[in-house]
Structure 1
Amino acid sequence: MDLNPLWLVTNAASGSNSDTAVEDLVASLSAAGCAPVRTLRFPDDPLPDAALLERKGVGTLAIFTGDGTANSAACAAEGWHGALLVLPGGTKNLLAKALHGDVPAETITGRIASGAIARTRRPAVRTSQGMALVEALAGPGAMWADVREGVRDLDLGAIAETFSNALRETREGPGIGIVEPALGKPGGYRAVRAAPGPRGLSVEGYDFEDLGQMAAQGFAMLVKRDFRQGPHDELGTHRHIDCESDAPIALMIDGERRQGARQERFEQVLFPVEFLASTATGD
């Protein structure tokens, strides 16, 4: 498969984006026959939109960043006819793992060289605040995403302040209920997670029994992004869910904080740009 011309997006603030890592990636892409003809260093360089990519005849946009920037780059390219190559350049790299398995970027470029990669379409979660390619989380528990920023920057003052705010909002803020279809606890949850899947949105509700559990689960969910830690209700698979709260609903979209309204719909759709996915995960 010819991926040329290929542009590369990096982000120095992402977990794996050292200068050396970027140089190694460029070398491995070059060895695979698709050397980047342009490297964009976000946020110093703006993310390319579909019109620019089409005008420049770009065939592949490689994204070596974390999930948040990968989401922004993919959404900026909506309507483009090329393909997105998502590489693990952040901390969790959930989108890259979904497309290629838990492997380093150099393994993926090796698959490009051997032809073990193909274009594919992926489902996404449409929200009022944009698309989620991996997961959307709603409710006061989403405030824990603010803590991640302090952890990312190693800012102890920001960590302390946002941790206190997140704990207070999770404990005292209005819960979020799923009203259409009617799902879960009548009193709602501290957080509702919706993730796209082959048969629809996988929906889970999270609650906490005491203050200690709330802090531990909140930190695990939003900072470590390990949603399976702690108690939760499996609420089935659905094409869409409508949620309500007595206050504007905090959102976390692919790890990044957003602010929603008191009523929010989460709907599974087909993302309008193709991705490159590994066709074999054993190396």
Structure 2
Amino acid sequence: MTTIPLWLIVNPASGSNSEAAVAALTAALAEGGHAPSRVLRIPADDLPTRATLEAANVATLAIFTGDGTVNAQVARLHGWSGQVLILPGGTQNLLAKSLHGDVDAPTIAARLGRGELHAMRRHAVETSAGHALVEVLAGPGATWADVREGVRDMDLSSIASALGEAVRSTAGGAAVRVEEPTLGKPEGYRAVRIDADDGTLTLDGYDAQDWADLAAHGVSMLVKRDFRQGPHEELGQAEAVTCASDEPIALMIDGERRDGAQRETFRCVTLPVEFLASAAATS
């Protein structure tokens, strides 16, 4: 498996990015024989396309950003013959943890240098607004993503405004029902979370019966940085599901807000992209 030359993408606005962190990562890559031949800094530099990487004969694209930027980059690489190395450069880093375990970027770089990573394809959730590499949250609860944006930027006015809107939307927005196949409560949920980690869709339902539930969801998003840790109900698994609501369904795809229709179909697919993974995390 060819892994050189390597390009590196960093995002100074992401949670784990700093000049010191980028320097430590590039040093670790260089020590293992993978010194980046080019470093792209988002958003000053554009995300590279498959054609750009092919023209430069890049073998490995290392992405040291959060899950949202990773999602946007991978969407540009479908069909590329190189490998993508996901590094924990954001706040949650759920994809990096899935591929490598809960370790830092220099540790993963060292594994690359020792030849300890292998190429693999990953399942994803196909939606009308793109693929989710980690998860989709569908329903009024997806508006909590707007609060997280304010927290990330430490913008107090944005946090206050988004927090109020998230509480109102979660409490009063139209519920989302899982209709095909029928799963969970017929009246639906404040949010339905969907992932494809097990090679099929796995669904959880989130509700907010009172202010205590709303607070629990908020703590999970703002403090624990993981909505999945809030109170929820396991709904089951399926290859594809259709969700419906009386209003357009708000979506959060890999932490980024999107707008859906009143009926949304989600499918489990295999992405045409190869990721480098640590054996211990994926065995």
TM-score interval (norm. to shorter): over 0.9
- Aligned mates of 1:58, 1:113 — CA distance in 2: 17
Q: How does 1:48-59 map to 2 (within 5 A)?
A: 48-59=48-59
Aligned residue identity for 2:84: L
Report the residue type matching 1:43 in the other structure: P
Counterpart check, 1:62 vs 2:75: no
Deviation larger for 136-145 or 194-203: 194-203
Provide the rounded CA distance (Å) in 1 between the counterparts of 2:173 and 2:194.
20
The separation in 1 between residues aligned to 2:34 and 2:226, in whole angstroms, is 34
Equivalent residue number for residue 209 of structure 1:
209
Cα distance per residue 1:59-95 (max 9 Å; x no partner): 0100000111111111111221111000011111110
Identity, % of aligned positions:
58
Quote the offset at 1:228 in angstroms: 4.1
Per-residue CA deviation, residues 120-153 of structure 1 (Å, 9 max, x unaligned), is 0000011011110010100000000000111011
Q: Residue 46 of structure 2: SS of its match in structure 1?
A: coil
Q: TM-score, normalised by structure 1?
A: 0.96
Equivalent residue letter for 1:76: R
2:133 paired with 1:133: yes
Pair 1:240–1:218, CA change in 2 (3 A): farther
Instruction: List aligned pairs for 1:88-107, cutoff 5 A.
Output: 88-107=88-107
Separation in structure 1 between the aligned mates of residue 280 and residue 217 of structure 2, nearest angstrom:
35
8 Å Cα contact 1:135-1:196 kept in structure 2: yes
CA drift of 1:219 comes to: 4.2
One-letter identity of the residue aligned with 1:83: Q
- Over the residues paired in the alignment, what is the CA RMSD in angstroms? 1.5
Letter of the 1:261 partner, please give it.
Answer: A
Aligned twin of 1:255: 255
Q: Structure 2: 5+ residue runs without aligned partners? A: none
Determine the structure 2 residue equivalent to 1:166.
166
Are the equivalent residues in 1 in contact too, given 2:92–2:226 (CA < 8 A)?
Answer: no
Matched-pair contact (CA < 8 Å) for 1:125–1:196:
yes
Scaled by the length of structure 2, what TM-score is found? 0.96
Using the alignment, how far apart are the partners of 2:184 and 2:22 within structure 1?
A: 45
Q: What does residue 200 of structure 2 align with?
A: 200
Q: 8 Å contact 2:61–2:84 — kept in the other structure?
A: yes
Aligned mates of 1:76, 1:22 — CA distance in 2:
23
Q: Give the distance between the partners of 1:133 and 1:101, measured in 2 at CA.
A: 16
Q: CA deviation at 1:260?
A: 0.7
Alignment-derived partner of residue 177 in structure 1:
177
Q: Answer yes or no: is the 8 Å Cα contact 1:148–1:223 preserved in 2.
A: no
The aligned amino acid for 1:134 is V
Runs of 4+, deviation exceeding 6 Å: none
Task: Tell me the CA shift for residue 223 of structure 1.
Answer: 6.6
- 8 Å CA contact 1:60–1:82 kept in 2: the answer is yes
Give the match's secondary structure for 1:24: helix
CA contact (8 A) 1:118 1:276 kept: yes
Query: Structure 1 residue 36: deviation in Å?
Result: 0.6
* Structure 2 CA distance for aligned equivalents of residues 49 and 215 of structure 1: 41
Distance in 1 (CA, whole Å) between partners of 2:54 and 2:95 is 24
- Shift in alpha-carbon separation, 1:150–1:221, aligned structure 2, 3 A: closer
Q: Distance in 1 between matches of 2:198 and 2:142?
A: 25
Listed as ranges, the gaps of 5+ residues in structure 1 are none
